[in-house]
Amino acid sequence: MRFPPGFLWGASTSAFQIEGHTTADGRGPSIWDTFSATPGSVLNGDTGEPGADHYTRYPEDVALMGELGIGAYRFSIAWPRIMPDGRGPVNRAGIDFYDRLVDAVLEAGIDPWATLYHWDLPQALEDAGGWPERDTAYRFAEYAAVMRDALGDRVSCWTTLNEPWCAAFLGYAGGIHAPGRREPAASLAACHHLLLGHGLATAVLREGQGAGTARRVGLVLNPTTLRPNSPTPADLAATRRADGVRNRVIDDPLFRGTYPEDVREDLREITDFAFLRDGDLAVTSAPVDLVGVNFYTPHWIAASDAGLDPATVTGGGDSTSYVGCDDVRFVLRGLPRTGIGWEVDPTGLYDVLTRLSDTARVPLYVIENGAAYPDEVAEDGAVHDPERIAYFDSHLRAVREAMKAGVPMAGYFAWSLLDNFEWAFGYSQRFGLVHVDYETQTRRIKDSGHWYARVARTGELPR
């Protein structure tokens, strides 16, 4: 199983999950600082401290990237390091950190890919209403301009947002991510303003395109495959509804410049879409150069609990985050599950890629894919994680199949370079190619990291 020459191999991280040092050098608080400090929000009361102490250990982490032989490193920039209040004066020390990081990555011969927003909204902007407020989109574009001017000469690829679906709906409808609000109507406004912010920022990033730089702009989505648990009309209808508020509510404004009619109808009692103003959809659907796809697991949808074994209900989905779908249930299908409980099914990735490429019509990169397992350092000092290798292998095969079916796949980034703070799961879930001992901050390349290095070097999956 061979990938074509030029296929890009990378690894991804995000600022809040690895940096630590959440009050250093003038960084302001983000919604994740506030949320994680709120009892009951994050498992074991974990917070962004210590993270993987990447803020000071980044040189060591860049050296690890070199050992892994990756061609690109995708990281995110913490907005509250750059603009501690979300607006106004720029904090030079914050910029300096990313300056140093990007230079170190380039020196290692690796392409820096920067994501502007991986969920760490400055708390001051949340205090002013957060993403449900239209103004936040404009503040985001201002921040994008600051980063363009600071790093635009060196970043190979910009992605504006990471997973706007999670930011909007886990954050403002389900309340399981920061800022922990449970306001369905506001979550739809948040989603719209995230996409608007993406469009505004895309224009800003392009304006600054200096002569001779091959800078590209896109965003990172997490579409997933939703399948009816049974072929009954009720399950089919529930699947259509869930797909509307999970996939199409994002994809249509981005790639078709519309909101799906059936979704508007489904949500009639929740929102009148008053947040949508003339001209917005032309902004949200501004052409992008690429789309990053994050994929972990597909879901099976049932119309209700009726007839289901309670032990199989949940399946990793959270129906309160699926606006207007509180009645819908996520069903486990008895497939193998990763440590975080997510079912393993690479056909879900194949389906996501083939579908999205029809809609987006630009090159796609899998920009996050991976698995959490309860890794331990063995007596021989290594971390043996054959299940993670099997996960990567099977999903890479699905990527290759999608390419054979004509999907313009240009690269694959593993999630994640390092073990890190896994949001509501805190430090309990390890996704890294590199193991982190949080007490000592010792790094160890796992077996899967060595395996991935070989794949990146040869472009081939060992049998």
Catalytic positions are: 163, 368
Structural tokens at position 317? 């989905």
Assess 293 for contact with ligand FCB (CB under 6 A): no
Q: How far apart are CA 392 and CA 400, in angstroms?
A: 12
Assess 47 for contact with ligand FCB (CB under 6 A): no
Nearer to ligand FCB, 14 or 321 (CB): 14
Q: Residue 9 pairs with which residues in a beta bridge?
A: 412
Assess 365 for contact with ligand FCB (CB under 6 A): no
Nearer to ligand FCB, 166 or 195 (CB): 166
Q: How far apart are CA 332 and CA 329, in angstroms?
A: 10
Q: How far apart are CA 347 and CA 326, in angstroms?
A: 27
Assess 422 for contact with ligand FCB (CB under 6 A): yes
Assess 415 for contact with ligand FCB (CB under 6 A): yes
Phi, psi of 228 (to 5 degrees): -65, 135
Nearer to ligand FCB, 27 or 74 (CB): 74
Considering only residues 122 to 181 of the shown chain, the ones binding ligand FCB according to CB under 6 A are: 162-163, 166
Cβ at position 175, least distance to ligand FCB in Å = 16
- Please classify residue 145 by burial: count the beta carbons closer than 10 Å to its beta carbon, then call 0-12 exposed, 13-18 middle and 19+ buried: middle
Nearer to ligand FCB, 72 or 166 (CB): 166
3-state secondary structure of 115: strand
The rounded radius of gyration (Å) of the Cα atoms in the chain is 21
Cβ at position 213, least distance to ligand FCB in Å = 27
Nearer to ligand FCB, 133 or 422 (CB): 422
Cβ at position 209, least distance to ligand FCB in Å = 27
Pairing mode, if any, of strands 409-415 and 8-12?
parallel
Size of the site for ligand FCB (CB under 6 A): 12
Q: How far is CA 157 from the centre of its chain?
A: 16
Q: How far apart are CA 394 and CA 390, in angstroms?
A: 6
Q: Which of 3, 9, 11, 14 binds ligand FCB (CB under 6 A)?
A: 14
Assess 391 for contact with ligand FCB (CB under 6 A): no
Only segment of 3-11, 275-283, 400-408, 415-423 that touches ligand FCB (CB under 6 A)? 415-423
Question: Whose CA is closest to 186, among 239, 129, 138, 236?
Answer: 129
- Interacting residues with ligand FCB (CB under 6 A): 14, 17, 162-163, 166, 222, 294, 368, 415, 422-423, 431
